[in-house]
């Protein structure tokens, strides 16, 4: 894992305008063979409770991505310089994962415009988690209010089911249940999804249940977009093996084809 460090730039790669590259074996004086390594940036705003997420949610997700072989996983946050996404990092990111809740308004519009451009024009993948449904980049990419039907803190568990088993994000994922203390109820005010990969049933304290959609995919311009409803900050779901698998699958799916 790399924290706020863009990997070393070879002069050759810079001269080629290739962004950040890692060099493989060099044999000649100028004959450098440069090979790009895909990069995922995991961004969050530092508001998750430390007793649940000691390294915040970006740290937990990055830890879960350690099995993503051959990728650079970069942790970034709103309190880092340039809100964690300086141009050189944003421009080399193949996929950006976003978790925000209380600090949406602090994200600079200029940064949001750059993210939208990277997704729509360059094909950067975007993965939006839980309360990021109201994050500025989420709303800008969807172009809709992105509201849920209801927000209630009366659930105890959520059973996540796979509703599109052939989708790459569902690969190897079976039905599973997680601790759950906050539910968003259907409908989600977004454009029609290309796939609803996951659905779920929340069990409520009063014995009732609330079924709702949990995972959606779209193409936005050239980029792929995945929204996952699960991920309330008091529930340690980003340490769950099933969710880790979903994050890995989602990064692979969202990456632009090169």
> By CB under 5 A, what part of segment 128-147 binds Zn ion?
131
CB of 24 to Zn ion, least distance (A): 43
Token code pair at residue 125: 């993948």
Cβ proximity to Zn ion, 136 vs 232, nearer residue:
232
Cβ proximity to Zn ion, 7 vs 201, nearer residue:
201
Helix, strand or coil for residue 213? strand
> Is position 118 an interface residue for Zn ion (rule: CB under 5 A)?
no
* Window of 32-40, 187-195, 229-237, 250-258 that interacts with Zn ion by CB under 5 A: 229-237
Count of residues engaged in binding Zn ion, rule: CB under 5 A = 3
CB of 233 to Zn ion, least distance (A): 6
> Is position 104 an interface residue for Zn ion (rule: CB under 5 A)?
no
Residue nearest to Zn ion (CB): 232
Cβ proximity to Zn ion, 21 vs 132, nearer residue:
132
What's the residue count for the chain?
258
Cβ proximity to Zn ion, 182 vs 199, nearer residue:
182
CA gap 234, 53 in Å, rounded: 8
CA-to-CA dists, residue 51 to 57, 58, 159, 230, angstroms: 12, 15, 24, 19
> Is position 182 an interface residue for Zn ion (rule: CB under 5 A)?
yes
Instruction: Please name the residue that has the structure tokens 């090169």.
Output: 258
The closest of 110, 138, 117, 235 to 181, measured between CA atoms, is 235
Q: Are strands 176-179 and 183-188 parallel, antiparallel or unpaired?
A: unpaired
CB of 61 to Zn ion, least distance (A): 15
E strands of the chain, at which residues? 2-3, 22-23, 34-35, 39-44, 72-77, 95-99, 125-129, 148-152, 155-162, 176-179, 183-188, 195-204, 209-220, 223-228
Cβ proximity to Zn ion, 108 vs 151, nearer residue:
151
Cis peptide before 46 (omega within 30 of 0): no
Alpha carbon 203 to chain centroid, angstroms: 26
Cβ proximity to Zn ion, 98 vs 253, nearer residue:
98
> By CB under 5 A, what part of segment 50-69 binds Zn ion?
none
- Show the site string, 188-227: x = touches Zn ion by CB under 5 A, - = not: ----------------------------------------
> Is position 232 an interface residue for Zn ion (rule: CB under 5 A)?
yes
* Window of 11-19, 125-133, 200-208, 216-224 that interacts with Zn ion by CB under 5 A: 125-133
Binding site for Zn ion (CB under 5 A): 131, 182, 232
């Amino acid at each position: 894992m790399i924290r706020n460090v863009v990997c070393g730039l070879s002069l050759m790669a810079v001269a080629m305008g290739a962004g950040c590259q890692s060099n493989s074996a060099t044999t000649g004086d100028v004959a450098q063979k440069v090979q790009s390594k895909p990069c995922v940036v995991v961004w969050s705003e530092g508001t998750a409770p430390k007793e649940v997420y000691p390294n915040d949610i970006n740290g937990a997700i990055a830890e879960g991505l350690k099995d993503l072989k051959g990728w650079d996983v970069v942790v970034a946050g709103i309190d880092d310089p340039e809100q964690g996404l300086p141009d050189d990092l944003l421009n080399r990111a193949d996929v950006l994962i976003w978790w925000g809740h209380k600090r949406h308004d602090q994200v600079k519009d200029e940064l949001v415009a750059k993210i939208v451009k990277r997704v729509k024009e360059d094909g950067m993948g975007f993965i939006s988690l839980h309360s990021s449904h109201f994050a500025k980049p989420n709303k800008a990419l969807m172009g809709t209010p992105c509201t849920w039907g209801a927000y209630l803190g009366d659930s105890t568990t959520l059973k996540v089911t796979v509703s599109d088993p052939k989708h790459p994000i569902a690969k190897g994922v079976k039905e599973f249940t997680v601790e759950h203390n906050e539910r968003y109820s259907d409908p989600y005010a977004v454009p029609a999804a290309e796939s609803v990969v996951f659905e779920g049933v929340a069990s409520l304290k009063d014995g009732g249940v609330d079924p709702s959609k949990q995972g959606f995919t779209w193409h936005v311009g050239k980029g792929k977009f995945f929204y996952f409803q699960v991920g309330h900050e008091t529930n340690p779901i980003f340490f769950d093996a099933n969710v880790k698998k979903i994050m890995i699958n989602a990064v692979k799916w969202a990456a632009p084809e090169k």
